[in-house]
Structure 1
Amino acid sequence: MFIVLFLFLVILMADSNSFEDQECDYLFKAVMIGDSAVGKSNLLSRFAKDEFRLDSKPTIGVEFAYKNIKVGDKLIKAQIWDTAGQERFRAITGSYYRGALGALLVYDITRRVTFENIKKWLHELREYGNSCMAIVLVGNKSDLTHSREVNEEDGKALAELEDLYFMETSAMENINVEDAFLQLIRKIYETTIQKNLEAKLNEPIPPIIQPGRQIINIVDEVTATKQYSCCYK
């Protein structure tokens, strides 16, 4: 119980801190999900700090990191959240997904069961997350080819079936790590721009009133005339 309360405090602090930095053009929150020990923490560490630890320990609850990314002429601050894959931390699910615009869905290519559990994580993501969320499916530990249990073709087939982006990565050898995150951030940016454009196009156009003129509701005038005539038949 104490751990869950502590995690909620961490989440609230992250949300409040996100509004303090006004230097960026956009602040995007993205989450990382998948089974425990698929390499989520090392992917985030490699992306945010270019670090990798062989002795990396399981995440306890939630961790997050920031990184500034340039997309076109816009500066985007990416807030990436990493969560524990263990079931005992699922109580924080709703708060974890709140405000997230994208997700990295990670499995371990050397453990078939982590790939089979992707549909469970995808269901949770679509249940609690934003309906327009950008999702990149990541098969991590691609450097361990001798221990591979999931073919790259399997990952591509699942991504195509579920309409996801797909990429294999290696946090250890720094293969495609930055590309995976950048692809996610760019997709979030494109979706955000598209939604802003649609919102502007759907805004009602206010009437233009020229000085000294009065707007007359013609429908009301016609209705009033008809009612007046009926009374004197």
Structure 2
Amino acid sequence: MQEDFATERKEVTLSAEEFYGTAWHWGIGEVLHRLDLTWNGPKQAPERLPAWVSDLTAFSFQGCWMRYHLEEEAGEEFIHCCEGQVIRGERMREASSSFKLCGEQVRESLCRAWAEKACQSIRTEENLAELPAMLLSRNEYDTLIPRLKEMELDELMNRLAVHSGDHEGSIALARSLKRPSSHGEILFYGRHSGCERLELHQVRFISTDHINWILRESAGEREDWLIASPSSRHKFQAMLESWLMHSPSAETYGKSP
């Protein structure tokens, strides 16, 4: 590429349809599928895009896609790192996305800045409750989430306790689920030289004024586990930075209990 990305940042605004085609062109169509972003249109970048976006194809890359709900605000953003170049995208209420591409010289600071911004939806700096991680059934948890508004707090506590065997932790998690200050999900993705498979790990988070939860879950269809761990904002940010800068293996994010 001819542009000097270290001294000049560039931006382009795309419609959702244009971005979906571009994402498939980059090789992350499976990420869209996992996020239930169905796309049946052209799986290529629109012709009008500048080369610094349309030429962004490589066998090795990694990124994070985050969706969050913070009080009355809902947001969606991602960061995509490829061969020392970085694109940050954001989609709020409008069906459009804004992308920024920067050079390798600023990759570390840009990734740290994105991770710090992503953690703004994590309300509690340090957890006030000393609780161990809880092991749950992912399938059972997914059946409870759509019923949160109609379920009484005691019923939710009991359902969690039955499947986790942790009464105290179930009380804390149930209260967080019923009255979250913020919540969301992050999809970690990556592909590396020598491996054709796209690596995917989903992490959910729940935050209140007293406690944050990180929920890691099984990725395989034949596995059924979910681990809910109390976490500080610092640990949450470190997890994001670690993936973007060091790209750990599945042992870190997808290991079963």
TM-score by length of 2: 0.29
Q: Structure 1 length as normaliser, TM-score? A: 0.31
Q: Which has the higher strand share?
A: 2
Bigger fraction of residues in helix: 1
Larger Rg: 1
